[in-house]
């Protein structure tokens, strides 16, 4: 028996709107608006509780320590914490904001994970994403590597790879560009890798305005490292026009679960060929395609509502549910589509649940961005750190912890406040005890 466990990122104490992510329209639009870290963290926690109450396996990943003072020191800022922050702000407000980013909350970008049913050595393979497309996100990789090693520590079950080379040819954004299709979680699956560019082939279509964040070279390397069967591994080209309209990750336009792929017709460059390849690799299991046309949901509405960034999950009664952002209910196109979807009994999605994750959405992170899917057998699940698994008790503890430590609001000037740094240390120190993570943060050394 294998289960899909969703590892959600706990929103960090310095959640803010830096306007740092080129190609992510929400991030750019909301640059430097007031952020509400406590509300953001509670919205994330509520989503975890909702999934847990639905009977899904849920777990949590801790935030990273911010500001990242080592990063600022590496760039030549010196002195006390206060002096480092003041110098950085004087020279480059963007660098100051970068050092404070809580972007590790979007754990769909933490790593690519292949379940043991798909790999030749029958281990779970994990490759942390290098996230080199954006400076603030690239700062996550060393800490993410440490955290994943601390949680999935048993080498008998888990094979950890180092992140890919820190070079543009190998730009990798993790599970946000990776999907899996299978009959059941424990049967061998087809892994789908979606890329926006190929380093060696200039002739391929590239976006004109925004960067393509995932390369084919990176995806191919991960498939090799994870010992996947070539006949069950499909590489698909993301549509460059979609990237230019704000689809910076494939999970903004597509989501898979078991044998279902739910996607927008503009998600892939040659979507018929991609679907044929998936069906061929998945046979004899039938691929269930739920394709949404531009006419049903215009691309701009798909991006603003994040319909496809819903979590598509299997419920114990054998049906599927979509856990969608509240914005889907508020948009007339997506609302009409959902009505149509639920009226169609020929497909397995029987419920659509709405969750409020607006604080994250304003930075371009929907429900599916906030979670890393890890398919685990019973033995593998028993071999991980048990304290990160979500229970009602953990919910109560995290609820109290957030209310005790998080600020209600953060504006740009607060980033110069050394007290915020102290608060962050105190809170994370307590969290490592709550989650039994040991001393994983630099400030604990
Ligand atoms: O990488 N936003 C993130 C959102 C990630 C969403 N993840 C998935 N689609 N899986 C990004 O663009 C904005 C940070 C800021 O501007 O402060 C940011 O990094």
Residue 393 lies in a domain: yes
Q: Give which of 361, 354, 253, 370 is closest to 301, Cα–Cα.
A: 253
Instruction: Reply yes or no on whether the pLDDT at 204 is more than 70.
Output: no
Residues of the chain with pLDDT > 90, as a percent, come to 97
Residue 294 lies in a domain: yes
Could you read off the pLDDT of 86-109 as tens digits, one per residue?
999 999 999 999 999 999 999 999
Quote the CA–CA distance of 173 and 176 in Å, as a whole number. Answer: 7
Ligand 1: lining residues by beta carbon, under 6 Å? 17-21, 24, 27, 101, 103, 106, 108-109, 137, 176, 248-249, 251-252, 363-365, 369
Residue 85 lies in a domain: no
Q: How confident is the model at residue 403 (pLDDT cuts 50, 70, 90)?
A: very high
Instruction: Reply yes or no on whether the pLDDT at 256 is more than 60.
Output: yes
- Helix pair angle (392-405, 418-434), 10° resolution: 170
Could you read off the pLDDT of 328-354 as tens digits, one per residue?
999 999 999 999 999 999 999 999 999
**Mean pLDDT score of the chain, rounded to an integer?**
97
Quote the CA–CA distance of 298 and 281 in Å, as a whole number. Answer: 30
How confident is the model at residue 261, as a pLDDT? 98
Quote the CA–CA distance of 23 and 7 in Å, as a whole number. Answer: 26
79: DSSP letter: S
Measured in angstroms, how far is the CA atom of residue 321 from the centroid of ligand 1? Answer: 25
Given 159, 237, 249, 264, which residue is catalytic?
249
Pocket test for ligand 1, best of 16, 23, 27 (most atoms within 8 A of CB): 27
Could you read off the pLDDT of 42-73 as tens digits, one per residue?
999 999 999 999 999 999 999 999 999 999 99
Q: How confident is the model at residue 395 (pLDDT cuts 50, 70, 90)?
A: very high
Domain with 264 in it: what CATH number?
3.75.10.20
Quote the CA–CA distance of 370 and 374 in Å, as a whole number. Answer: 13
Asked about 237 being catalytic, the answer comes back as no
Instruction: Reply yes or no on whether the pLDDT at 202 is more than 70.
Output: no
Could you read off the pLDDT of 206-222 as tens digits, one per residue?
898 999 999 999 999 99
Residue 79 lies in a domain: no
C-alpha torsion angle, residues 381, 382, 388, 392 (rounded to 10) = 100
How confident is the model at residue 200, as a pLDDT? 73
Instruction: Reply yes or no on whether the pLDDT at 379 is more than 70.
Output: yes
Residue 418 lies in a domain: yes
Residue 197 lies in a domain: yes
Residue 80 lies in a domain: no
Show the domain range for 370: 2-66+101-444
Asked about 140 being catalytic, the answer comes back as no
Residue 91 lies in a domain: no
Q: How confident is the model at residue 203 (pLDDT cuts 50, 70, 90)?
A: low
The domain tally of the chain equals 1
């Amino acid at each position: 028996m294998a289960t899909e466990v969703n590892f959600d990122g706990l929103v960090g104490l310095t959640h803010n709107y830096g306007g740092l992510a080129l190609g992510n329209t929400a991030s750019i639009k909301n640059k430097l608006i007031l952020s509400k870290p406590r509300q953001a963290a509670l919205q994330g926690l509520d989503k975890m509780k909702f999934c847990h109450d639905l009977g899904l396996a849920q777990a949590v990943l801790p935030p990273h320590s911010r500001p990242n003072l080592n990063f600022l020191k590496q760039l030549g800022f010196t002195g006390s914490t206060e002096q480092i922050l003041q110098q950085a702000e004087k020279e480059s407000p963007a660098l100051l904001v970068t050092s404070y980013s809580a972007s590790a909350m979007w754990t769909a970008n933490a790593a690519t994970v292949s379940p043991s049913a798909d790999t030749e050595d029958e281990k779970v393979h994990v490759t942390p994403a290098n996230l080199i497309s954006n400076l603030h996100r690239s700062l996550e990789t060393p800490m993410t590597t440490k955290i994943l090693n601390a949680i999935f520590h048993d080498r008998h079950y888990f094979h950890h790879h180092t992140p890919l080379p820190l070079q543009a040819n190998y730009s990798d954004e993790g599970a946000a560009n990776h999907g899996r299709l299978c009959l059941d979680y424990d049967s061998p699956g087809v892994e789908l890798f979606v890329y926006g560019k190929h380093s060696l082939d200039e002739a391929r279509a590239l976006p004109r305005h925004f960067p393509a964040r995932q390369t084919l070279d990176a995806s191919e390397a991960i498939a090799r490292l994870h010992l996947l069967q070539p006949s069950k591994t499909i590489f698909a080209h993301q549509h460059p026009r979609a990237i230019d309209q704000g689809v910076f990750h494939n999970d903004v336009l597509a989501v898979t679960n078991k044998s279902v792929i739910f996607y927008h017709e503009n998600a892939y460059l040659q979507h018929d060929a991609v679907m044929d390849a998936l069906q061929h690799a998945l046979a004899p299991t039938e691929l269930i395609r739920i394709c949404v046309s531009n006419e049903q949901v215009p691309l701009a509405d798909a991006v603003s509502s994040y319909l496809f960034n819903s979590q598509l999950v299997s419920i114990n009664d054998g049906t599927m549910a979509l856990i969608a952002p509240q914005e889907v209910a508020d948009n007339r196109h997506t609302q009409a589509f959902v009505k149509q979807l639920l009226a169609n009994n020929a497909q397995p999605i029987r419920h659509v649940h709405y969750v409020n994750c607006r604080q994250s959405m304003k930075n371009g992170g929907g429900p599916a961005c906030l979670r890393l899917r890890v398919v685990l057998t019973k033995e593998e699940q028993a071999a991980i750190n048990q304290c990160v698994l979500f229970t009602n008790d953990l919910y109560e503890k995290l609820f109290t912890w957030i209310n005790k430590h998080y600020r209600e609001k953060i504006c740009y000037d607060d980033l110069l406040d050394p007290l915020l740094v102290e608060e962050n240390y105190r809170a994370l120190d307590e969290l490592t005890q709550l989650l039994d993570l040991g001393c994983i943060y630099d400030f604990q050394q």
